[in-house]
Amino acid sequence: MKTLVVVVGPTGVGKTETCLGIAEHFNIPIINADSRQIYAELPIGTAAPTISQQRRVKHFFVGNLHIEDYYNASMFENDVLNIIKHLFEESDIAMMSGGSMMYIDAVCDGIDEIPTIDERTRLMIKKKYESDGLDVLCKELKVLDPEYYDIVDLNNTRRVIHAIEICTMTGKTYTSFRSNVKKQRPFNIIKVGLERSRERMYERINARVLTMIEEGLIKEAKRVYSKRTLNSLNTVGYKELFEYFDGIINKEEAIRRIQSNTRRYCRKQLTWFHHDDKIKWFAPSDIEEIIKYITLMI
């Protein structure tokens, strides 16, 4: 049976190099499941695969859109399923890798049917956001839907607002609408998780942020600063530097906050992934063991 191998793990764990090794072994491309690496303007801050890495293995969904383009998990689901259909014409195995939880779940399980928000609710929550800010909305979400609060990226304004809109309009938790029956896929799915000790993860994250700064993250952020209100730029690494450009914080504090917020996002990812008992966990360096596991399961 045709098989999709899904490699997941938190930011900074080392997915890229591990997946390159797996892809080279099976001679297959990599479907990238990262909701920010799709934007061509953000290669440094999103730690997108480099040109050299993309030459080693073909990647889908890396720098294929621009920050002004609208894109969501549902669109990703449809696009990936179409690509997988063609890949399976050439091979019995395909691979997807990334850390964007909603994108991965969309492909593996399908998107839940969420109620459409009425205009009255949308305007009400929009005004609340404009007057009170994101932090207040996050606190409200914690009360309305603590389960979703524990796993959502609290820096993602759109997702926080949408969850509160659902809670406000329906009187139910957003989580309750994310429990629908999973869609059946016409292919087998094998899930591999990459994990390190928390101490080592934090060390890697802190070091990687410093490397990004050295590689030109500040210049990259300045190039997109004029478009800072776009949802695509409401992400760790850019919003902190925007505050630095605004004179709200200094450079050192911006870097510290990027490191701290990245570590927080890492914890959110692990919480999400550990809810999935179908994931088989490995150290990123165990490429041979991972390949043996995949070979055994397909």
Q: Is the pLDDT of residue 70 over 90?
A: no
What CATH number is given to the structural domain containing 234? Answer: 3.40.50.300
Spatial distance between the Cα atoms of 73 and 236, rounded to a whole number of angstroms: 19
Mark which of 135, 161, 178 sits at the end of a domain: 178
Q: How many residues does the chain have?
A: 298
151 and 203 fall within a common domain: no
Query: Are the C-beta atoms of residues 140 and 151 closer than 8 Å to each other?
Result: no
Mean pLDDT in residue range 98-124 = 88
36 and 148 fall within a common domain: no
What CATH number is given to the structural domain containing 162? Answer: 1.10.20.140
131 and 189 fall within a common domain: no
Q: Is the pLDDT of residue 189 over 80?
A: yes
Q: Is the pLDDT of residue 92 over 90?
A: yes
18 and 143 fall within a common domain: no
Least trusted range by pLDDT, from 103-117, 209-223, 274-288: 103-117
Spatial distance between the Cα atoms of 136 and 189, rounded to a whole number of angstroms: 39
Q: Nearest 5°: phi and psi at 32?
A: -85, 125
Spatial distance between the Cα atoms of 32 and 289, rounded to a whole number of angstroms: 22
138 and 230 fall within a common domain: no
Look at the chain and report how many structural domains it folds into.
2
172 and 255 fall within a common domain: no
Q: Which residue has the higher pLDDT, 230 or 32?
A: 32
> CA-based Rg of the chain, rounded to a whole angstrom?
19
CB neighbours of residue 100 within 10 Å: 21
Mark which of 138, 156, 178 sits at the end of a domain: 178
194 and 280 fall within a common domain: yes
198 and 91 fall within a common domain: yes
210 and 106 fall within a common domain: yes
**Tokens 């399976």 belong to which residue?**
88
Mean pLDDT in residue range 85-112 = 94
Q: What is the pLDDT of residue 180?
A: 60
Q: Is the pLDDT of residue 168 over 70?
A: yes
Q: Is the pLDDT of residue 176 over 90?
A: no
The confidence band for 117, taking pLDDT boundaries of 50, 70 and 90, is confident
User: In sequence order, which residues have a C-beta less than 8 Å from that of residue 82 and are 6 or more positions away?
Assistant: none
Q: Which of 47, 49, 269, 51 is nearest to 154 (CA)?
A: 269
Mean pLDDT in residue range 242-263 = 98
Q: What is the pLDDT of residue 179?
A: 62
Distances (CA, A) of 245 to 56, 241, 250, 290: 37, 6, 8, 44
37 and 68 fall within a common domain: yes
The confidence band for 118, taking pLDDT boundaries of 50, 70 and 90, is confident
Least trusted range by pLDDT, from 84-93, 144-153, 210-219: 144-153
Q: What is the pLDDT of residue 72?
A: 86
The DSSP element (H or E) to which 158 belongs, if any, is helix 157-170
Q: What is the pLDDT of residue 124?
A: 94
Strand order in the sheet with 59-60: 59-60, 30-33, 93-98, 3-8, 188-194, 279-282
Q: What is the pLDDT of residue 209?
A: 98
pTM of the model: 0.81
- The 3 state secondary structure assigned to 199-220 is HHHHHHHHHHHHHHHHHCHHHH
* Residue-number span of the structural domain to which 9 is assigned: 3-111+180-297
User: For the chain, what percent of residues have pLDDT higher than 70?
Assistant: 99
DSSP β-ladder status, 279-282 and 188-194: parallel
Query: Are the C-beta atoms of residues 165 and 121 closer than 8 Å to each other?
Result: yes
Q: What is the pLDDT of residue 141?
A: 96
243 and 290 fall within a common domain: yes
- Which tens digits make up the pLDDT trace of 210-220? 999 999 999 99
